[in-house]
Structure 1
């Protein structure tokens, strides 16, 4: 399996990255994508991939939470980082009108510009959307014919939103967020609508370890999620979809490698 959503640059991982990765390997997590949320964060993510080549890859982008930091020179900084082979997608970018840490105007500017960069460099785009789906889709419809590989991670929308994402040829990243009814908008049975070729899985470590769902693990890990827990997520998906663990394990990993254009020779 492959974890498509790891915030390994987060300060919670500063002291024990080696142990975190070793635990993931023991749980048969065969690779992970480290997410860049700012330029500084993207540089740190790339530095980690250099140490764990052929196991870790990363993205470069500006998360909507940091869109207020957007300046024109950021475009050049993103483009310079894209020359590195271990940086395999643009993002995490998109819209977040739930927290609105950045103005909506700045979020839209950063989102559109990063879509343009992904299209210009023929790169996959790694997306975030919360409480902004209608505007999100209206922005994307101008780009879907120019960007062939699109990932929306931590999907928790309703059936209409899921079908719109699939119509736009997106790959759907699921996390524990989808299984928490406090955050999921649609029916949990919507999971069956995702073609297995479009399914991706990610922990969003160190986030999304919900206390009520994982009380014993939560206490042991002091609330910190990590990639070694990815098999727990896959088991839930397998149970709901009534498919074999081994099949979805292999398929979701294959999907990640395909959409991110990965090979162990990167």
Structure 2
């Protein structure tokens, strides 16, 4: 079984003491390739460095998460465009809108998102998107770029049925995480994932966040890591009434095509 984790925050400092061991455990669990999320001005260059240190196994995104939107200056935009010139950087983002926490003012979020959408339109690489409690503005801003953008994935989808079908109607891809395994917040996803076409579905851990709550035994440190992608695909297969091997193969094929990853 070969799996691709399309979103892992491997530059997070919680991995600084054992990153090589984390990657080894991921390989043992069948995770053959990972996309390292670049989500800020500080961490996007680090994501590229990790990808360059592990050719063929790790790849990177370059972008600024809405939590950090206030840092998205013209200089930051130039830095992101330079990073996206590297072959190892396979997508623009993580970018989007987050009205749940509002760590950056909403006007700053919209400005940073618009600038990164323009970058994606200019460069032609896929989009790695974040949306939380901002569906209407998110859809409206994406539609301003109709016909100008390449493929897009709404990463770590946790939204409603209405949101899911709106994204599928736009031919966007959907990233599913261990949120699926959260009996407090993710039960609605158990039914919704059945409606995602196989060629639009990808899987991710969002490590070190969102440790699947159904992993037994739970690690004492509570840190998620890419090896748990195997657990997520098992849960996803059960909810889709499919064989685990089929879901693994389909999500891997879809991710390779989306990010243009080598075999």
Give the distance between the partners of 1:68 and 1:78, measured in 2 at CA.
Answer: 15
- Is 1:82–2:74 an aligned residue pair? no
Q: Which runs of 4+ in 1 moved over 6 A?
A: none
Deviation at 1:181, TM superposition (A): 4.3
> Could you tell me the TM-score, scaled by structure 1's length?
0.95
- Is 1:253–2:252 an aligned residue pair? yes
Give the distance between the partners of 1:182 and 1:155, measured in 2 at CA.
Answer: 16
Q: Any idea what SS the aligned residue of 2:59 has?
A: strand
**Alpha-carbon displacement from aligned partner over 1:107-147 (angstroms, at most 9, x marks no partner):** 00000110010011011010000011111111111224211
Give the distance between the partners of 2:19 and 2:131, measured in 1 at CA.
Answer: 28
8 Å Cα contact 1:5-1:204 kept in structure 2: yes
Please give the residue correspondences for 1:191-202 in structure 2 after superposition, counting only pairs within 5 Å.
191-202=193-204
Per the alignment, residue 213 of structure 1 pairs with: 214
**Alpha-carbon displacement from aligned partner over 1:232-259 (angstroms, at most 9, x marks no partner):** 0000010011111111111101111111
Per the alignment, residue 110 of structure 2 pairs with: 108
Per the alignment, residue 51 of structure 2 pairs with: 49
Deviation at 1:214, TM superposition (A): 3.3
Per the alignment, residue 95 of structure 1 pairs with: 97
8 Å Cα contact 1:48-1:56 kept in structure 2: yes
**Alpha-carbon displacement from aligned partner over 1:20-40 (angstroms, at most 9, x marks no partner):** 101100111110000001122
Q: Any idea what SS the aligned residue of 1:30 has?
A: strand
Give the distance between the partners of 1:181 and 1:119, measured in 2 at CA.
Answer: 38
Structure 1 pair 132/245, CA: closer, same or farther in 2 (3 Å)?
same
Per the alignment, residue 228 of structure 1 pairs with: 227
Q: Any idea what SS the aligned residue of 1:148 has?
A: coil
> For structure 1, which runs of at least 5 residues remain unmatched after alignment?
none
Structure 1 pair 131/62, CA: closer, same or farther in 2 (3 Å)?
same
Give the distance between the partners of 2:39 and 2:150, measured in 1 at CA.
Answer: 22
Structure 1 pair 182/134, CA: closer, same or farther in 2 (3 Å)?
farther
Structure 1 pair 239/191, CA: closer, same or farther in 2 (3 Å)?
same
Deviation at 1:187, TM superposition (A): 5.1
Identify which range, 171-180 or 182-191, moves more after superposition: 182-191
8 Å Cα contact 1:95-1:111 kept in structure 2: yes
Deviation at 1:148, TM superposition (A): 2.2
8 Å Cα contact 1:156-1:185 kept in structure 2: no
Q: How many residues are matched?
A: 261
8 Å Cα contact 2:8-2:205 kept in structure 1: yes
> For structure 2, which runs of at least 5 residues remain unmatched after alignment?
none
Give the distance between the partners of 2:240 and 2:158, measured in 1 at CA.
Answer: 16
Q: Any idea what SS the aligned residue of 2:32 has?
A: coil
Q: Any idea what SS the aligned residue of 2:93 has?
A: strand
Deviation at 1:179, TM superposition (A): 3.2
